[in-house]
Every structure is written in C-alpha cells, then in structure tokens.
Structure 1
Amino acid sequence: METRAERLSPLPENVVDISVTRREWNGISVDVNATRCSGPAETPLCLESHTRLSALLEEVGSPCEPRLREGRPCPIGYVPRQLNLMPAGMPLWGYSADSRLVRDAVLTFDPKDLGERLGQPLSATELGTPRLRFSDDRLWTLMRLLAEVVDDDDPSTQLYGDGLTAALFATLGSRREERPSKRQGLAPWQLRRVLDFMESRLPGRVELSELAAMVDLSQAHFSRAFKASTGVAPYQWQLRARLERAQAMMLTTPASLEQVAEATGFADAVHFGKAFRRVHGTTPARWRRDRKG
C-alpha cells in the first residue's frame, strides 16, 4: 500500500514536503503524515481503497479543511481536534488557504477482518458512513498516543499499540456492549496461563490478540480483565518483567549496562536507562551501586 508521500509524486502546487512514518498494530496500518506547505494547497489524501479514520494532530497556519470533492468546500464548520471517517471507495481531499505544517494520523483497515481479530463485531453502518469534522476527545487522544509511538521499536510497544487500537475501536465501532462479567478479573487459571506465556516470550514482542485468544475473550475485554487482576495493563506488566530481569542481571552478573539492555530487549543503554528511571526513580548504575556496595 503506497504512502501519501509515494502517491503524491511529483508534489502538488505549494506542497514543499511530505514525510510519512508507518507502523501496523492489529492489522491496522497507522500512518503519521507531516506536510509542509508554502501557500494555498489542495491535495488528495489518498488510501481511498481502504476504510480510514484520520485525526488532525497539529496545524500551523490557516485551518485545514476536509473535502469530499476537489474544489468543493466542506459544508461542516471548523472544529478543533477534528476526526474524519471515510469508507473504502470514497476519496477525501485536504485544503488550506495558508498552511505551513499539517500533521495527521491515518488508520486504514478492513472492518470485517478487524472485527474478527479484535473478537468483537464492528458496526457496518457506523463504519460505512462518511463522517467529516467530528469531534471525540477520547478517540483523538487514543490516536495521538498511537502517533507518538509509531516509530518506537521497543518490544513492549507492540502490546501498547494493540491495547490502544482495541480501545479505540471498542469506542468507535461496536454494535453492542459486551455484557459485563460478574467476575471483573481473569480466573486464576486464565491469569496463570497468560503470565506463563508472556514470561516464556520475554523479552520479545507479544501481540494482544494472542493473549486474548488464549482465554477466549475479545481484546478489549481481556485488557480490562487483565488490569483488574494485576493492577497494570499487559504492556506495563511486560515492561516491568523485563526490568526485573535486568535487575537480576545487574545483581548477579558483571554484565555492562549495554549488555543488560541488549539481553532485555532495549535498543541500547540509553533507552534502558530511561525506562528504568521512569519505573524506579533512579538510574540503573546508581541502583546497582547502592545494592552491590
């Protein structure tokens, strides 16, 4: 699937540059686009062969306007943090009278396949009807959080993004509310099975769909039940387990911090140090020194 930057070559008039970062979670392609302009610009936003949900993350200059047809103004007035939902087969254009920078996040997906993957049916009516310039703070925030980690290669980001997408579509496209469980958390055997599996896969990536399928729950239901049982989200549990393994290495081996970081799935000692400090409030070197004397 071509990105917007690949599709719009050569660039439209007054468009100086388009950069795209792409990542996939739960079969959903997430594109974060940054478009720089030098004056009035109207461009096709591409990806029209897929169902798309987009969020305007940042705009510098005059407001951005979604258009169903080139040259035809949007009939809906401006709203901050705007979202747009477009069914497959319907093109969408973007226009601004004087923009300098526009950042947006676009999720492309197949509703039927996504519903099966999430373990919850998605409304064909809800996702098959175009919606321009609508506002939903929860949806916008979930998309912003996805955009912030689209280029983060840390293994725990897989579970983090899976959880965000599950929450997003539970909000957007569920045909029915899941019946609340009389037992909020997972059964002991379910929790043990899931934790044993996660431990066996450390420090590698684990997908939320795998965990939910092990106990026959939708991803959204599983995430809620897991947090009720453990007090943390699945990605947080995995990150903490990696850090606990790192602590054990620092206490029982002479491994350098670079070696500890590599063994526990961090890109380097810097990334390891930042994650360690967020959780423990101190640096790995100081923590090790205080305990080894």
Structure 2
Amino acid sequence: MTFQPRMNNRISGFSVVGSWKRRSWNGVVADLWDVECAPAAGGFYVADHPRLFIVLDAKGAGQHNIRLRQTGETSVCGGRQAISYIPAGMELWADMVDVSFVRHLDLHFNVETLSKRLMEDLDPRKLSMPQLMFSEPRLMALAELIAAECANPQPLHDLYGDGLSVALFIDVMRLGAVKARRRSALASWQLRRATDYITENCLRSIRLQELSVLTGLSQSHFSHAFKASTGVPPHQWQMKARIERARQMMLENEMPMSVVAVETGFADQAHFTRVFRKMVGVTPANWAKSQR
C-alpha cells in the first residue's frame, strides 16, 4: 500500500502560487510549495508521521521571520532558509511576521518502512525529539536538490530523489552505521534436545521444521542459534553423526563400503567417501585399515 501522509491543520492567510508539486518514493513523500502570505498569516499543524519542514526561501519587508511554536518554546527563522524536524503527533503553531512569500519543502516519512530499509529499529527517543529552525549548508544543499527534483517536469530515476531524501533523514537524525547483530545461542536444554534428536535420527532425512518445533523456535531463529552454539549448521551436524555411525559400523563389522554408505543414509559410496574424507581427513577404506 502506497504511503499517504495525514496532517490536520487550521491555517489562514496563505495562497498557493501555481500548483504544489508532490513526489512519492519508498516510505517518503515530498511536497514542494510556493506560497504568498497575507499579514498575520499562520496556523496550527499536527501530523501522524514525522516530517521535515524546510524553508528554502522567504521574502518580506524589514526583519521578516517565520516563528514555529510548540508548547512552551518558540523558534525563529530570521533568514531565508531553515530546517525543522517535527515528530509525529507534535502540535505546532506557525506565525509569519512580515513575510510576503515562502517557498518550502515538506518531507513526510513512514518510520516502519524506513526502519526496514535502514535495517535497524529507529530509536523512539530520537524520533520524538523536535529540532526546530536550524540551518546547515550540507543539509540545505540536499534539500535544494530534492526540491529541484520535485519541480522537474522530467524527473530522473526514482532512486535519485529517494536516495537524497533518505540521506537527508539519516543526516538530520544522526544515524550511524548499523552494527551487525550478534545471534544468540540456544539454551543448554534446547541444544541437548536438538543434538540428541539428530543423533537418534541421523540415518534419515531430518527436516528443519522438526528441530524448530522441538526447541520452540522459528526455523530461521533455530538455524542461526544452532550455528551460534555449535559452529556448524544443523545439516552438517547430521553429517557428522552419520560419519560417527559409519565408523562404529566399520569397527564392529567387516562389510563393503557400498553397504556402509547405504546403511548410514548416503546416496552412494562416492558421496559417503567424499563426506568422510572431508570430515576425517582420509578415505573410509584407509581409516578402516588404520584401525586394524
């Protein structure tokens, strides 16, 4: 489903010049506005999603400025450009003081989508902290490029505007490189239950689902946790159990290697020999001779 930002507002004194321009990317919606402002223009805003409100240009008489007010605090843009990060659900009032024209860019973000794309859970504390009316040349340069793409009658590939918008979000939120998550190992009882089951049933094909049910985990979680505990995936552990069974058979009975291979669940003697040599370091026949 396409992301559609929702905002409630009560505004007065604004007239849109021409038509507003919208571009949508993966979890991001960008709106570019040119607005004429009447004296004492302003309004109240609250949105369901976090957003960036970026003043690209402001004109007016004297010391014109734009004031953003949240409960207990007022921030002022006294120049032509400023960036504000506004958390979801934050009530905000805007007042235009001697401002006759403003060009601004609104970027709305779907946090759930961005969290998946950035491969990390975005810190709720960062997302809830407003940053009002600051300016930084690097961030403004990104914003200008996004605005130009919104206004472009022949827009470039979606990855262009998408990449610029996500880059701006990362920079404003000061997101660092994602650290690799350490996979947790199995509990001792889970590991014992899984390895005992594999040993007892190693001569047949064991499905991953059987092992995950035994340990109460999803198949993916079990697979990663088993490897974290043993250093090898479940299938390789089963191969080790088969090879151990084959070694016992060769010690207790003299039988053709082809029979040993079939009895221990291998496709044929060649498969058995290949796996045995990889795990033990010698062929089954050479190993058997060394035990006599």
Change (3 A) 1:77 1:107: closer
Change (3 A) 1:106 1:60: same
Gaps of 5+ in 2: 180-292
How many angstroms does 1:117 deviate by?
2.1
Bigger drift between 110-119 and 87-96 goes to 110-119
Deviations 1:100-132 (A, max 9, x none): 111111111122321212335533322210111
Bigger drift between 84-93 and 107-116 goes to 107-116
What is the rounded CA distance, in whole Å, between the counterparts of 2:46 and 2:37 in structure 1?
21
Deviations 1:198-225 (A, max 9, x none): xxxxxxxxxxxxxxxxxxxxxxxxxxxx
Larger radius of gyration: 2
Q: TM-score, normalised to structure 1's length? A: 0.51
Length, aligned pairs only: 173
Q: Secondary structure at the match of 1:38?
A: strand
- Choose which of 62, 65, 81 in structure 2 pairs with 1:63: 65
Deviations 1:63-105 (A, max 9, x none): 1111225xx8725574652111111111222212221111111
Deviations 1:145-190 (A, max 9, x none): 11111143646331211221232233223543257xxxxxxxxxxx
Q: Which residue of 2 aligns with 1:270?
A: none
More strand by share: 2
Report if aligned partners of 1:43, 1:93 keep a CA contact under 8 Å in 2. Answer: yes
Determine if the alignment matches structure 1 residue 34 to structure 2 residue 13: no
How many angstroms does 1:3 deviate by?
8.0
Q: TM-score, normalised to structure 2's length? A: 0.51
Change (3 A) 1:17 1:128: same
Report if aligned partners of 2:6, 2:49 keep a CA contact under 8 Å in 1. Answer: no
The one-letter code matched in structure 1 to 2:166 is: A
Determine if the alignment matches structure 1 residue 116 to structure 2 residue 121: no
Q: Which residue of 1 aligns with 2:129?
A: 129
Report if aligned partners of 1:118, 1:166 keep a CA contact under 8 Å in 2. Answer: no
Q: Which residue of 2 aligns with 1:164?
A: 164
Report if aligned partners of 2:35, 2:102 keep a CA contact under 8 Å in 1. Answer: yes
What is the rounded CA distance, in whole Å, between the counterparts of 1:15 and 1:76 in structure 2?
19
Report if aligned partners of 1:78, 1:133 keep a CA contact under 8 Å in 2. Answer: no
Q: Which residue of 2 aligns with 1:247?
A: none
What is the rounded CA distance, in whole Å, between the counterparts of 2:15 and 2:6 in structure 1?
16
The one-letter code matched in structure 2 to 1:54 is: F
Q: Secondary structure at the match of 1:89?
A: coil
What is the rounded CA distance, in whole Å, between the counterparts of 1:77 and 1:33 in structure 2?
17
Determine if the alignment matches structure 1 residue 138 to structure 2 residue 138: yes
What is the rounded CA distance, in whole Å, between the counterparts of 2:38 and 2:76 in structure 1?
25
Q: Which residue of 1 aligns with 2:14?
A: 15
Report if aligned partners of 1:121, 1:174 keep a CA contact under 8 Å in 2. Answer: no
What is the rounded CA distance, in whole Å, between the counterparts of 2:94 and 2:155 in structure 1?
35
Change (3 A) 1:116 1:106: same
How many angstroms does 1:30 deviate by?
0.7
Report if aligned partners of 2:22, 2:29 keep a CA contact under 8 Å in 1. Answer: yes
Report if aligned partners of 1:120, 1:174 keep a CA contact under 8 Å in 2. Answer: no
What is the rounded CA distance, in whole Å, between the counterparts of 2:175 and 2:15 in structure 1?
42
Q: Which residue of 2 aligns with 1:271?
A: none
